A and B are shown apart, each in its own frame.
Chain A
Amino acid sequence: MSTPADRLAELLQFGPRKGRGGGGFAQSPPGRGGAKLPGGLIGFIIGALILLWLVFSSYYTVQPEGRAVVKRLGAVIAITDPGLHFKLPFGIDTVEFVATERVLKQEFGFRTLATEGERSEYSSQDFPEESLMLSGDLNIIDVEWVVQYRISDPMKYLYGMRDPTRTLRDISESVMRRVVGNRIGSEVLTTARVEIANLARDEVQEAMSKYDVGIHVVTVQLQDVIPPKAVQPAFNEVNEARQERERMINEATKRLNQEIPKASGEANRLIAEAEGYATERVNQALGETARFRSILAEYRSAPAVTRARMYIETINKILPNIGNVMVVKDGKTAPLPYFEMRRPHAPAMETPQ
């Protein structure tokens, strides 16, 4: 029916015992022709499969990010660098790949689901059993963190410990709880983050070095460090109260800043006014005395005349404005006779204006 099947039948007829040959292994599965010579066909198939196995099990490729540990019958014989390599086939040599160049990470208290696209997606699920711990003042605190590490020695990583990753997780949790437990909760929440991360890194590294498993801890990073959910409103209240405190202080300071300069200004005005008064007063005195001195000088040249003149001038000046003038004569018998110079003006006395 099909051309390949016909060709296969032809081939089998001409070389029935050449099943081990490698030429035809890429052919299609045998068709009806197989019924004729079953032994030869089975041999051929087995031969083809063995050849395939031989080809595919005698090389391997190490990716640039890692290295490979080659074992011959269970014993490690080589550690190879990235590239194409050959090995003994049929499972005599086996290869284990270890990503030595990549920075791996373990997450505690949260999980990244995917990092495709521009932002990472995080699992909405919490892992409270991983992240809840006690601080030194016996409060509960929720700490999420990441441990980044690199496999520095593939040999030790594979043969120093079974499942080193799990141990890394266990140790990280233990160390983080020790470090956090050695601090006051509010410190953990605020100022001590960096210190805690550094200390945790060092201690995890110390433990890993003690086990000698070829893990290099690159960094420990704290993520969300928060009080437990039920307590969060109370923490917010503290923040609000702190804001309120600042606000009250600021308001008082504002008033202070308003009032003091104003008062200083007023004080300066008061002083300036006083100084003005002083100048005025002194000038007045100087002016008046200067005038007095001038008049005095004139007066001294002719005292009697000047005196009389001044007196009469003054009387002249004031008489038109004066309400009543009484003239009294001495030496007369009492009651003293007098005349009123301006009788019609007399009633004006009763209604002072």
Chain B
Amino acid sequence: MKSTLAMIIGVLVAIGLVQSTYVIDQAEQAILVQFGEPVGELVNTPGLHWKVPFIQDVRRFDKRILSWDGDITQIPTLGREFVLVDTTARWRIVDPLKFLRSVRDEAGARTRLDDLIDSVARDIISGTNLEEIIRSKDWSVDVKALGDEGVSLEQVDLNKPKKGRAVLETEMLAAASKLMPELGIELVDVRLKRINYIESVGRQVETRMISERQSIAERFRSEGQGKSSEILGEMERELRQIRSEAERKAAEIRGKADGEATKIYGETYGADPEFFTFLRTLESYQAMGANTTLVLDADSEFFRYLDSTRAR
């Protein structure tokens, strides 16, 4: 009987001990709540702590940075393109007391964040062109550096964005942060995680990409033809140049030789033109053949003696 009583007392003491202590983790902070009403200071140091048993409750809050991921929402941009936007944010509980009073717990906070960040994202996305959202402030496209792979540039305007993605994110953070102090929450950042076209727009964009590629392919082909013609034309020009130059040179060489020969002949034959004519004529007679009729004067040298021997 005695031991049973001791046991009961022991159990009661244990329960009392458990009820009057609590452990705060390194990652936590806590507020004591007495009959639903917060009491005392914020408990911020990890370790073992005391409380009034039974009447005080511990509400624990994470001290760390927490992440929030929004639903994927369909939002039209300023240019009336529908895009799917997925936002993500990081936040932390900076004022557990306010947090406890305004949203109670993390689940409550999440629904508030859902509403807030979604509406902020909607406001900003729908007031901005898609290029502004996709590109950033440090956008710089060197059209020339793109080379032959480049886009059909007239189709897309490649202007630098006025704000750009990072600035829009900052604006979203600023807009969403306005209401946060009341909730005891600090928004660390808000980021656009994913932005994609809705399916029907996506298909249109793909069609546009296809036609863009095809026009580039077409350009390559005609470039090939053009270059080829250019090379062949250049070849033709060069061929003509080579040939005509050779012909000219050959004619020059021949002419010079002819001239030299003429000079040699002239100088030599000029010594006795009469004899040259005589000799040359004799030589040309030798070319006479069977179908030539030679008319000789009977008084000629050849017949002179023949004649004189004839008796008259």
Contacts and interface: CB of A to CB of B under 8 A. Distances in A.
B266 to A, nearest CB: 10
A74 B46 contact: yes
A227 B243 contact: no
B288 A322 contact: yes
B210 A277 contact: no
Contact of B291 (A244, A325, A352): A352
Contacts of A244: 220-221, 224
B299 A329 contact: yes
Contacts of B303: 327
Interface in B251-307: 251-254, 256-258, 260-262, 264-265, 267-269, 271-272, 275-276, 278-279, 282, 285-286, 288-299, 301-303
Interface in A314-353: 314-315, 317-319, 321-330, 348-349, 352-353
Given A74-B23, A310-B282, A237 B238 contact: no
Interface string A239-268: 011101111110111011001100110111
A159 B151 contact: no
Given A159-B26, A249-B231, A235 B213 contact: yes
Contacts of B45: 75
Contacts of B223: 245
B135 A186 contact: no
Given A134-B134, A285-B265, A312-B301, A184 B213 contact: no
A5 interface: no
User: Which bracket fits the contact residues of A?
Assistant: 35 or more
A170 B193 contact: yes
Given A211-B65, A349-B293, A260 B269 contact: no
A171 B223 CA distance: 44
B40 interface: no
B24 A74 contact: yes
A162 B290 contact: no
Given A244-B220, A256-B234, A281-B257, A184 B196 contact: no
A185 interface: yes
Contacts of B219: 241
Interface in B218-254: 218-221, 223-225, 227-232, 234-235, 238-239, 242-243, 245-247, 249-254
A103 interface: no
Contact of B210 (A231, A247, A286, A288): A231
Contact of A278 (B28, B90, B257, B279): B257
B194 interface: yes
Contacts, number: 347
Interface stretch (A20-28, A29-37, A58-66, A174-182): A174-182
Prevailing SS type, chain A contact patch? helix
B47 A311 contact: no
B257 A282 contact: yes
A318 B288 contact: yes
A74 B146 CA distance: 58
User: Which bracket fits the contact residues of B?
Assistant: 35 or more
A159 B27 contact: yes
B13 interface: no
Contacts of B65: 160-162, 167, 211, 213
Contact of B242 (A73, A167, A267): A267
A51 interface: no
B67 A348 contact: no
A133 B272 CA distance: 104
Contacts of A273: 250
Contacts of B246: 266-268, 270-271
- Which of B148, B150, B223, B250 is packed against the most chain A CB atoms within 10 Å? B250
Contacts of B95: none
B155 to A, nearest CB: 8
Given A74-B46, A252-B231, A281 B258 contact: yes
Interface stretch (A9-17, A110-118, A218-226, A292-300): A292-300
A252 B228 contact: yes
Given A242-B148, A319-B294, 13 more contacts: A129-B194, A167-B67, A170-B88, A227-B209, A230-B203, A238-B216, A245-B227, A256-B231, A260-B242, A278-B253, A296-B272, A327-B296, A348-B291
In the A-B complex, list the 9 residue pairs whose CB atoms are closest, starting with the nearest. A278-B257, A267-B246, A245-B224, A274-B250, A234-B213, A289-B268, A75-B46, A241-B217, A285-B261
Interface of B: 23-28, 45-48, 62-67, 69, 88, 90, 130-131, 134-136, 138-139, 141, 146, 148-151, 156, 158, 165-166, 188-189, 191-197, 202-203, 205-206, 208-210, 212-214, 216-221, 223-225, 227-232, 234-235, 238-239, 242-243, 245-247, 249-254, 256-258, 260-262, 264-265, 267-269, 271-272, 275-276, 278-279, 282, 285-286, 288-299, 301-303
